[in-house]
Amino acid sequence: MFIYGDDSLSGPNQIALLLSAALASLIGVFHGKNWLNIIDTISKSISSTTSAIIILLLIGSLTGTWLISGIVPAMIYYGLKILNPDFFLFASCIICAIVSLASGSSWSTIATIGIALIGIGKVMGISEGLVAGAIISGAYFGDKMSPLSDTTNLAAAMSSSNLFSHIKYMMYTTIPSFIITIVIFFFLGFNIETSTTQNINDLLLALESKININYYLFIVPMVVVILIIKKTPAIPALFVGVLLGALFAIIFQPQLIQEINDNNSLDIKSYYKVIITAISSEIQITTDNNLMNNLLNSNGMKGMLSTVWLVICAMTFGGAMQATKLLKRISDPIIKYAKSTGSLIATTSGTCLFFNLTTADQYLSIVVPGKMFENSFKKRGLAPENLSRTLEDSGTVTSVLIPWNTCGAAQSAVLGVATLTYIPFCFFNLISPVMTIIYGYFKIKIKKIS
């Protein structure tokens, strides 16, 4: 990271993780661990991310078909007309929070609403780090508080607490953290320079000249959101979104497809070629406005390959660390520092962050600390809701702040913003672990076992 900075996701991080996995494996073999067991654990670790990898590829496909169908341009177009630049950051955070709360998925929210908002923010001249911070803060608030969220259910299960009791106790730390976040974004909105109305009008004209903009295009994202709300798994929901995007491109953008294909005639071959290109690799819509041209492009599945590569390497490292018991060797002494309720919660919080850093997976940052500290919380007479709340406040929300973590890599790829660029502005994700530690030391809303 020190040498490559934002470019570290393009290969250096992957190599570092593989070298570290190799070193962990050598240490394990030296201390009597079976090599085949290590490889088997690594294989299981990688296979656990199969769904995430497919989702990433589908997100890449979705951005391509939603671009040529005019869905993303329409979101940008109407967003520029409706959203006031002064309230844009505040509104973006609230919008993402509502969608994520309804769908239970931060990934789906960022891949749909987030892509449009990042484009609108760029047009308004707002720092992409700030916009990404607002999007991620809102999306992770909704994900954390939604009963449909996988991490919310996982945290409750790992601590043996009731799901809705878990959500109720999360509200005590999560709502104050979110209020602070939106207040910060509200005041930041009045202190940033934005593009003039004339510049925005030029961009709107550039969109109108190339793309058939209409309200019917919003049917596709509405269908995807409804499918997710109805608890349809993410993979089929996103796949439907990809297919509908392709269909709407054929219906509403024949002239655009003809131009992209650089062909005088329109036939089945032309449609097929442009749609498959949009799904799989680079596609560009060219207007007479250079700023708009920077927004109207997609890399399809191809753009997600570095992230998939990183996910595989990260899980290889996590599997090697787990198989050789090195994670246990590191984490066991940590429990000894938990001498009081405050220090126990702080230690649990720190351990969640540690596992997000070392295993590069948010699920392991919930599962392993949950099992590690379950008995410690019981011995102190603390209800399981305290543990589940700490797991979410520290494990779920910090995963996106780490460049080599699956969440950090995924959101960076989807939004096109480097993790190190948006970290300072993910106020909700930064405040949440601090808030839960403060509650622990000051014994605020610490539920006891009755």
Q: Which two tokens stand for residue 19?
A: 């070298």
Query: How large is the angle between the packed helices 384-391 and 427-441, nearest 10 degrees?
Result: 150
What are the residue ranges spanned by the domains of the chain?
5-49+305-441, 62-298
pLDDT, tens only, 120-170: 898 888 999 999 999 999 999 999 998 778 788 888 888 888 888 899 999
Tell which residue, 344, 345, 367, has the closest CA to residue 355: 367
Three-state DSSP state, 382: strand
Rounded Cα–Cα distance for residues 182 and 383 (Å): 30
CA distance 291 to 275: 24
Higher pLDDT, 412 or 203: 412
Between 12 and 424, the higher pLDDT residue: 424
pLDDT at 6: 63
The DSSP secondary structure of 233-294, one letter per residue, reads: -HHHHHHHHHHHHHHHHHHH-HHHHHHHTT-SS--HHHHHHHHHHHHHS-EE---S-HHHHH
CB contact at 8 A, 122 and 128: yes
Res. 78: pLDDT tops 90:
no
Sequence-distant (6+) residues with CB within 8 A of 233 are none
Query: What integer pLDDT is reported at residue 125 of this predicted model?
Result: 85
pLDDT in the model for residue 238: 87
Mean residue pLDDT of the chain comes to 88
Provide long-range contacts, Cβ within 8 A and 24+ apart, for 2-5: 5/418, 5/420
